[in-house]
């Protein structure tokens, strides 16, 4: 085992992950104008549970009509060519144009949950560590107590509690309110580990000599935080945030399975996977309704996890120490 | 050692009490209650009478009543299941979940630790990437998909396992395997990470230098300290596995307690929510203490430090 041969496999995995993720991100964003129009176009006559086909099953007039056009423009004709590649679901909707926005929506949920985990968790942990003493103990005890609550129960109760006030806040935009409730419920459950990680990091940094030197030189607490603590905290924050994204996407899929995740007809990867699993039974085999959403979900989460691990390896100086074996 | 255990026990009781209080506050502050749901709306007078009967109209009284009952291991009535008390629900569902969860944790350790060790030794190589990919694939799919996939392969096509249900030993492997997948993944990654740390330390170099075989060094000298983080993870992991999973129970038709966590919350059933949370919190605290004792037994430096 030469060192070069050792790192090759991991390097390829990270490259493959980056390529796959970029392809997904670019296609889902580029096709958003089409998929946002077509994700809910139902064709009950010819396309119900139609298996994947290379040529479109649904006539373009159906899609064009839904978009309010007379003659279809070029981009629409091109998009139409691909409409049956992933098959059609139980309402005759094009699965391709449901999976594409689903990826986008799931990514937004994952990123927002990670942002919330970073915002609340990092602040909580840093404040606890810097305050020290009784405040620190109380704040971390609170985190311990929240750890003791069953996670799923917490998410459901948060969602129930938030639904009404947020719906009132958003007025008529129920879809937006739904999504925000989901984000807050998932994000509100995932900041605990972040708080612990950051507190530990700040505690170990606080007594290091370069902080002491800065303090001795007359630097104020804000300056120390911004100039010395934050740069050293970026590592764990980034690492943990990358790992929160796949967790949040999975969490949403679980809520969708329960029927309290993203509401129909809005697609998310978890929603589509749950729909697929529920549509299949011992007698019928609509494999495309499971394979395509789950395929995208698996590739996305695998890629995110691989990249997260690689970032962690890069930031963690200990794990790059040469192993004697 | 005894002092440490007693201190942990006292802290555990305080934690459980805090969890109870917090859950109670959440339960009484969420909108809706089990008496008014969709078509089952009842007359206001009947609801008031019911609430008065179970003291749910007076939050302080309900708080103390339930706590008093819980101390005597009596969790009172549920508000959604006719003819069942919370005690009966827990007594029938918890053993099922505990058995399944225990098996799942055993599988997770038996698969996850060797996978993590091998992948740490072959770090960065194709074996490492292969194991990591498999392990990550295990957590990259929602449980309802892996469960359904296992079910269709082993029960529908190969017909070597029952499609679902509970009662015989044949019903155990598939749900236990499904339940164990996330834990396998986590334990494998944890083992890999702490193994990498350990393999870089001086005593490993010494052991190799004095001519011990690589196998002895890895599996005996390095694994022992590298297992400690896995041990601390096993406290919360077993508590979680042994209180069941809604998805696994739904996919395989297992009558465990996981479904009650979800249904109680969805039904806003205060009695059952509090009962399930108390069960989970108590198990979590108790298992953490057990893990703590085991930890001190494996690594004597800990008990000296206290």
Residues of A in contact with B277 (CB under 8 A): 149-150, 153
- Please tell me the distance in Å from A157's CA to the nearest CA on chain B: 6
Q: Between A and B, how many residue pairs show a Cβ–Cβ distance under 8 A?
A: 159
Residues of A in contact with B124 (CB under 8 A): 6-10
Question: pLDDT tens, position by position, for chain A (325 residues)?
Answer: 333 334 566 778 888 899 999 999 999 998 888 888 888 887 777 777 888 888 887 777 777 765 555 666 777 778 888 888 888 888 888 888 899 999 998 998 889 888 988 889 988 988 888 888 899 888 988 888 888 888 778 778 877 777 777 777 777 677 777 778 888 888 877 888 888 888 888 888 887 888 888 888 888 878 887 888 888 888 778 878 888 888 888 888 888 888 877 877 888 888 888 888 887 766 677 888 888 888 899 899 888 888 887 777 777 655 544 445 5
Residues of B in contact with A13 (CB under 8 A): 129, 132-133
- pLDDT higher at A293 or B82: A293
**Mean pLDDT, range B38-51, rounded to an integer:** 66
Residue B305 has pLDDT above 70, yes or no: no
In the structure encoding, which two tokens stand for residue B143, read together? 């449980």
- Please tell me the distance in Å from A80's CA to the nearest CA on chain B: 30
Q: Which residue has the tokens 């990867």?
A: A269
Q: What percent of chain B has a predicted confidence (pLDDT) above 90?
A: 10
Q: What pLDDT is recorded for position B104?
A: 94
Residue B303 pLDDT grade (very low, low, confident, very high; cuts 50, 70, 90): low
Residue B54 pLDDT grade (very low, low, confident, very high; cuts 50, 70, 90): low
Residue B39 has pLDDT above 70, yes or no: no
Per residue in A253-279, pLDDT tens? Answer: 888 888 877 877 888 888 888 888 887
Residue B306 pLDDT grade (very low, low, confident, very high; cuts 50, 70, 90): very low
Per residue in B217-271, pLDDT tens? Answer: 888 888 888 888 888 888 888 988 888 888 888 888 888 888 888 888 888 888 8
Q: Does B150 touch chain A (CB under 8 A)?
A: no
Interface test with B, best of A2, A3, A9 (most B CBs within 10 A): A9
Nearest-angstrom CA–CA distance, B240 and A150 = 8
Residue B42 pLDDT grade (very low, low, confident, very high; cuts 50, 70, 90): low
Residue B302 pLDDT grade (very low, low, confident, very high; cuts 50, 70, 90): low
Per residue in B118-167, pLDDT tens? Answer: 988 888 778 888 888 888 887 788 888 888 888 888 887 787 878 777 87
Nearest-angstrom CA–CA distance, B47 and B34 = 10
Residues of A in contact with B275 (CB under 8 A): none
Residues of B in contact with A277 (CB under 8 A): 144-145, 148
Instruction: Tell if the CB–CB gap between B140 and A297 is shorter than 8 Å.
Output: yes
Collapse the DSSP code of A320 into the 3-class scheme (helix H, G, I; strand E, B; otherwise coil) and give the result. Answer: helix
Per residue in B84-117, pLDDT tens? Answer: 788 888 888 889 999 999 999 999 999 999 999 9
Give this complex's ipTM. 0.78
Question: Which chain A residue is nearest to residue B263, measuring alpha carbons?
Answer: A153
DSSP A117-172: IIIIIIHHHHHHHHH-HHHHHHHHHHHHHHHTS-HHHHHHHHHHHHHHHHHHHHTT
- Please tell me the distance in Å from A70's CA to the nearest CA on chain B: 42
Q: What pLDDT is recorded for position A1?
A: 33
Q: What pLDDT is recorded for position A200?
A: 85
Per residue in A50-87, pLDDT tens? Answer: 888 888 877 777 777 655 556 667 777 788 888 888 88
Q: What pLDDT is recorded for position B268?
A: 81
């Amino acid at each position: 085992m030469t060192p070069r041969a050792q790192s090759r496999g991991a390097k390829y995995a990270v490259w493959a992950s980056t390529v796959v993720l970029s392809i997904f991100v670019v296609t889902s964003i580029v096709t958003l104008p089409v998929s946002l129009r077509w994700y809910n176009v139902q064709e009950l006559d010819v396309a119900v549970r139609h298996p994947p086909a290379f040529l479109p099953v649904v006539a373009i007039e159906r899609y064009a009509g839904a978009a309010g056009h007379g003659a279809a423009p070029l981009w629409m004709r091109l998009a139409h060519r691909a409409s049956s590649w992933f098959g059609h679901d139980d309402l005759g909707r094009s699965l391709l144009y449901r999976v594409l926005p689903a990826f986008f929506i799931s990514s937004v949920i994952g990123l927002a949950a990670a942002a919330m985990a970073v915002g609340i968790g990092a602040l909580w942990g840093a404040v606890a560590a810097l305050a020290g003493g009784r405040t620190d103990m109380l704040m971390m005890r609170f985190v311990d107590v929240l750890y003791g609550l069953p996670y799923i129960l917490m998410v459901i109760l948060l969602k129930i509690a938030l639904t009404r006030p947020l719906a009132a806040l958003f007025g008529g935009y129920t879809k937006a309110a739904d999504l925000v409730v989901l984000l807050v419920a998932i994000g509100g459950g995932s900041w605990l580990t972040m708080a612990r990680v950051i507190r530990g990091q700040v505690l170990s940094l606080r007594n290091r000599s370069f902080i002491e030197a800065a303090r001795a030189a007359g630097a104020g607490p804000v300056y120390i935080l911004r100039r010395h603590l934050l740069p050293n905290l970026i590592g764990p924050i980034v690492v943990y945030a990358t790992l929160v994204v796949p967790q949040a996407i999975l969490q949403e899929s679980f809520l969708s399975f329960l029927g309290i995740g993203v509401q129909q007809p809005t697609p998310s990867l978890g929603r589509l996977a749950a729909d697929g699993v529920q549509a299949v039974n011992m007698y019928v085999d609509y494999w495309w309704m499971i394979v395509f959403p789950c395929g995208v979900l698996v590739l996305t989460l695998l890629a995110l996890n691989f990249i997260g691990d690689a970032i962690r390896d890069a930031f963690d100086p200990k794990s790059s120490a040469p192993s004697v074996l | 050692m005894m002092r440490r255990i007693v201190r942990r026990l006292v802290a555990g009781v305080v934690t459980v009490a805090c969890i109870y209080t917090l859950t109670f506050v959440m339960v009484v502050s969420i909108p809706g209650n089990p008496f008014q749901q969709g078509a089952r709306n009842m007359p206001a007078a009947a609801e008031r009478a019911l609430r008065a009967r179970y003291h749910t109209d007076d939050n302080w009284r309900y708080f103390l009543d339930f706590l008093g009952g819980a101390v005597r291991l009596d969790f009172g009535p549920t508000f959604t299941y006719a003819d069942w008390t919370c005690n009966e629900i827990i007594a029938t569902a918890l053993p099922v979940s505990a058995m399944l969860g225990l098996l799942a944790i055993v599988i997770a350790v038996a698969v996850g630790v060797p996978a993590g060790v091998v992948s740490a030794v072959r770090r960065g190589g194709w074996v490492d990437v292969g194991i990591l990919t498999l392990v990550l694939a295990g957590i990259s799919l929602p449980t309802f998909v892996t469960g359904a996939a296992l079910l269709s392969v082993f029960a529908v096509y190969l017909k070597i396992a029952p499609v679902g249900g509970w009662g015989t030993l044949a019903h155990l492997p598939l749900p236990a395997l499904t339940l164990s997948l996330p834990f396998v993944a986590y334990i494998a990654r944890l083992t890999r990470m702490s193994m990498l740390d350990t393999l870089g330390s001086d005593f490993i170099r010494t052991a190799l230098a004095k001519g011990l075989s690589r196998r002895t060094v890895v599996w005996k000298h390095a694994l022992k300290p590298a297992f400690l983080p896995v041990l601390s993870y096993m406290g919360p992991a077993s508590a979680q596995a042994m209180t069941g999973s809604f998805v696994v129970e739904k996919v395989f038709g297992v009558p465990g307690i996981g479904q009650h966590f979800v249904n109680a919350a969805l039904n806003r059933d205060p009695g059952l929510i509090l009962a399930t949370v108390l069960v989970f919190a108590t198990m979590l605290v108790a298992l953490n203490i057990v893990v703590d004792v085991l930890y001190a037994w494996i690594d004597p430096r800990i008990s000296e430090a206290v």
